[in-house]
Amino acid sequence: MSEHGTTQTKRPHLHIPEAEELPGQSQVEPDSWANDQEIDTFDVFVRRFWRGEITPDEFKRLRLQHGVYGQRQEGVHMVRVKIPWGGLTARQVERLAELAEQSPRGVGHITTRQNIQFHFVKPEDLTLTLRRLAEVGLTTREACGNTVRNVTACAHAGVTPDEPFDVTPYADATARFLLRNPMNQNMPRKFKISFSGCSDHCGLAPIQDIGAVAAVHRDNGTSQVGFRLYVGGGLGPSPQVSQLLEEFTPADELLVTVAAIVRVFDRTGNRDNKNLARLKFVIRNLGMDKFRDLVLKERDGLRAVLAGKIPPILVAPEPSRPGPHGAEHVGEPNGDPQYRRWWITNVRPQKQAGYSMASVRLTLGDVTAQQLRVLAFVARQFADGWLRTTNQQNLIFRWVPNASLSAVYRLLKGVGLGEPSADRLADITACPGADTCQLGITSSRGLALAIGEIFQNGHAHLADEAGIRIKISGCPNSCGHHHIAGIGFSGGSKEFDRQQVPTYQVFLGASLNLDGTRYARPALKVPAKNAPALVGRLLDLWQAERLEGEKFEAFVERVGVPKVRDAVKDLTDLPAQAEAPDKYLDWGGTERFRVETGPGECAS
């Protein structure tokens, strides 16, 4: 154990069965993230709160530290399970299925930070939920609150063809080093870290407080692995693109550098105004050069203070990975058009010959108990015993023998998980919005479902377009990542005919590149009920006037926002309420719309 109560990092190897083994017969279980003693303490605080011995505010800080949020509905909670680098074993997935089955909604919800959430959990079920998670090595600790949140990573790490090296053990080591670490338990604000390795930059480094991008430094015939570290990114009402801290941070300097950044933020972050407390504001106020100087000076001091106390990052050598039986059969479709479409959009070859990744598209990030059980079965029988959550609210199997892809598809299709278009245009990202979030203004989930219908009717030919995404947030805080969308929506309200109406600020043309990110620009506001028609109109304009091969963001840049705005101007207004009363309602709503937000706990 380290001084912070975490075990030294072990490489979570993805075991590939030898020829004589049955698939899924021998997977390596990761070290537990859980701590039974802290759950005992949590239970004591819950009981003291029920007896009135501590105030709601005193209890709030503790429950947030343990991943328990309040909802806009009184008397129930959202429990967020922390999934470091998105890695879940089949056994853990089965336990999540049990919890989903027992939850009022009957589903788990995958978030844009690779976590899984359960909503409407009753107070009397909180401790038991945490204990059930701990039994399979999962924790909710620091999934909320002013702490280092879940450390995310590219879901393709270790198997994608163009990565310099697998970032998984480094993400794992960082998460274990910071979990329960005293230095980051009460920071000015939440703090987000991600790891990327592939050329698609799936870890979304530009929007992170720390974005670590795999790099290899070569000098005089020798190679050294490490990272380009980007700092100070973030979305929300005041988005900022991260900036490069240093060109190359050697891997053995990673944890001490992360610690230095966190400590500088803890000292310099704004503790008087939570709206200005994120790391991006520190860098905005100090300037990048001054911030860099503080971090490097802090790192120099920590090298001496923490000498011998920073756990080593243990990266085991790659095991022998024989090609699977039937590797010559690549699993290509042979007559079934639905399977062929899924194979084209949801399957990617690995760098290891004979194996593929298979994406599971989740509508709104939701997954039922039955679906989770089937996913666990597929992971054991046809993959490596693991699943990975993604920051696109989906799941990925890796190490699927190509000859088994059709069997995987049939099993997924049988439980409603065989939808194509994963990470494509029809795969819409949405936060929980006003359904459960206290800060939610509009029903982002309802709008996502409504927009999704246009890819079944009228715009089905565009559903599989790559390189353009639709992302929806129910408020300006960008939990749905609307700032990095081709077409993004941020929930709000506007008065029409003396009546408050749910509306969305429309953002257009994000371009997410490692050293040239441009966030989507606000273009116009649209009533919620007109938003699907607006999407259709924008896509029609793009298809009609794009240059050959022109991406949507390049099209918006070329023609200009004013022209795009003119093309949809009629959709920004509403007729009198008496003429179209339904237009004044939110998606899924039956009663008069009113903005009803509560005291958000994201900044508590």
pLDDT at 13: 37
Helix, coil or strand: residue 317? coil
Helix, coil or strand: residue 523? strand
pLDDT at 168: 97
At the fourth CATH level, the homologous superfamily of domain 429-584 is Sulfite Reductase Hemoprotein, domain 1 (3.30.413.10)
pLDDT at 555: 98
447-449-450-454 Cα dihedral, nearest 10 degrees:
130
CATH topology of domain 36-134: Sulfite Reductase Hemoprotein; domain 2 (3.90.480)
pLDDT at 77: 95
The values of phi and psi at residue 334, to 5°, are: -135, 55
Report the C-alpha gap between 392 and 395 in whole angstroms: 9
Q: In whole angstroms, how large is the CA radius of gyration of the chain? A: 24
Contact 6, 104 (CB under 8 A): no
pLDDT at 30: 81
Closest CA to 292 of 284, 283, 301, 305: 283
Report the C-alpha gap between 103 and 160 in whole angstroms: 36
CATH 3.40.50.720 at 337-414, yes or no: no
The values of phi and psi at residue 173, to 5°, are: -65, -40
- Report how many helices (DSSP H) and strands (DSSP E) the chain contains, helices first: 15, 20
Structure tokens at 271: 């503790």
Tell me, rounded to whole angstroms, the distance of Cα 154 from its chain centroid: 10
The values of phi and psi at residue 494, to 5°, are: -150, 150
Show me where the domains of the chain are located. 36-134, 154-305, 337-414, 429-584
The continuous run of DSSP H or E covering 176 comes out as helix 168-178
- Order of all β-strands in the sheet with 243-250: 152-153, 193-196, 210-219, 222-231, 243-250
pLDDT at 16: 30
Q: Where are the beta strands (DSSP E) in 402-530?
A: 429-430, 470-473, 487-496, 499-508, 521-527
Are 154-305 and 429-584 equal in CATH topology? yes
pLDDT at 5: 37
Longest dimension (CA), the chain: 77
Q: How many CA atoms lie within 13 A of 438 on its CB side?
A: 16
pLDDT at 333: 80
Predicted TM-score of the model (pTM): 0.93
580-584-589-591 Cα dihedral, nearest 10 degrees:
-90
Report the C-alpha gap between 56 and 63 in whole angstroms: 10
Report the C-alpha gap between 89 and 137 in whole angstroms: 10
**Cβ burial 38-73 (10 Å sphere, 16+ → b, else e):** bbeebeebbeebeeeeeeeeebbebbbbbbbbbbbe
Contact 379, 90 (CB under 8 A): yes
pLDDT at 162: 93
* pLDDT averaged per 10 residues, the chain (length 604): 37 35 48 96 95 92 95 94 98 98 95 97 96 98 96 97 96 97 96 94 95 95 96 96 97 97 98 96 98 98 89 81 66 85 97 96 98 98 97 98 96 98 98 94 98 96 97 96 98 97 98 91 98 98 97 97 97 97 97 87 63
Domain at 154-305: CATH architecture: 2-Layer Sandwich (3.30)
